[in-house]
Amino acid sequence: MRRLEAVIFDMDGLMVDSEHLHSRSFEVVLNRHGVKPKVDDVIQTLGIGTPNNWKKLKKQYGLKASVDELSDQKHEVYDDLIPEIELMPGAKALFDDLQNSGIAVAVASGSSKHNIEKILNQLEISSYFSVIISGEELENAKPAPDIFLAAAKALGVEPKNCAVLEDAESGILAAKAADMLAVAVPNEFGKNEDFSKADHIFDSLEQLSAKKLKELI
């Protein structure tokens, strides 16, 4: 029998409003390398992390710089934009509710550990999370289940007793592959994502609570 013991949050676009800043960072670096994406170009693929995005963009635009060089440049640009990041509506209330309900909470994000910790500290929400997992520390990015399995292991919770909150198709697929409850909370950048594999879809974190997640699992 499943029971809710932990909630694993993706970060960018799910708990913090940052996807537009990631997109801007990719655009700045592309411009430096002589590439000006069309207005309707989708610069980044949600949920797969910076290095994997650059692998895609290198091929798409014929970039000569290495993935490591491009990633470092993007991180540098993005780092300067972090002060602009804000919490998504309903995030703080949900964190408080989960904490008061005794449910463990983790962050499992494709962002670098440096960015995750900087953002959590800036928004003063670090104390809610007992585990932080960066996808850049793992061999396989989402949609592989590695990042969520690593979070469950660090929390000491069986995967089947975890709920994952995600804003990207790759994250939903990863959660399902990990045998976890997969809850999609799409944002404007994910309008073209396929969430058909999600167990449940909500418009905002404001619609979620510890009680609601317990009922869903």
Active site residue 40: no
Decide: 21 and 179 in contact? Cβ < 8 Å.
Answer: no
Cβ neighbour number for residue 159 with a 10 Å cutoff: 21
- Which entry of 10, 17, 146, 167 is annotated as an active-site residue? 10
Cβ neighbour number for residue 94 with a 10 Å cutoff: 24
**How far, in Å, CA of 197 to CA of 178, rounded?**
13
Q: DSSP code of 180?
A: -
Q: How many helices (H) and strands (E) does the chain have?
A: 8, 8
**How far, in Å, CA of 207 to CA of 127, rounded?**
23
**How far, in Å, CA of 76 to CA of 93, rounded?**
31
Q: DSSP code of 14?
A: T
**How far, in Å, CA of 171 to CA of 165, rounded?**
8
Active site residue 10: yes
Can you list the positions of beta strands (E) in 30-95?
A: 86-87
Cα 57 vs. chain centroid, distance in angstroms? 20
Single-letter code of the amino acid located at 19: E
- Which residues are catalytically annotated? 10, 12
